Amino acid sequence: MKVLNFKELGSSQVKEAADVVKYLSVELAQNLREIANILRNLTFSENFTSFEWSGTVPASSEVAIRNELRGVIPSKRIIVRADTYGCYVVDGDTSWDANYVYLKNVDANDAVVTVIFLK
């Protein structure tokens, strides 16, 4: 994400009201345009506290995935890619905790998935 370099309006720069008007109409307006542009171009992962995991969940098995949210148990997950038409990967039987989350494949075939876990 781009870091903005805002120009501040210091008291030494203000000699008359026109200086304030110029700052507001030029500098502040430019800053707002830059902020709006950045917000419009955020990716899903940049917009939410989350982590992404890609891997294979073997058929009829549960996998443990290290929780990368550092002490926060994820509240949701979204499967964003799967190599099969009907992806049968669900939350595992084991409860999620601060260290690991668990996914289970209830299908008879292995599933390669990409999952985003959300705070």
**Tens place of pLDDT per residue across the chain (119 aa):** 556 666 666 666 667 778 777 777 777 888 888 888 888 888 877 888 899 999 999 999 999 999 999 889 999 999 999 987 777 999 999 999 999 999 999 999 999 999 999 99
Domain 47-118 fold is: mini-chromosome maintenance (MCM) complex, domain 2 (2.60.320)
pTM value?
A: 0.68
Helix/strand/coil for 19: helix
Name the burial class of residue 23, with classes exposed (0-12), middle (13-18) and buried (19+) by CB atoms within 10 angstroms of its CB. Answer: middle
CB 116 within 8 A of CB 77: yes
The sheet carrying 62-66 orders its strands as: 62-66, 100-105, 89-91
What are the residue ranges spanned by the domains of the chain? 11-40, 47-118
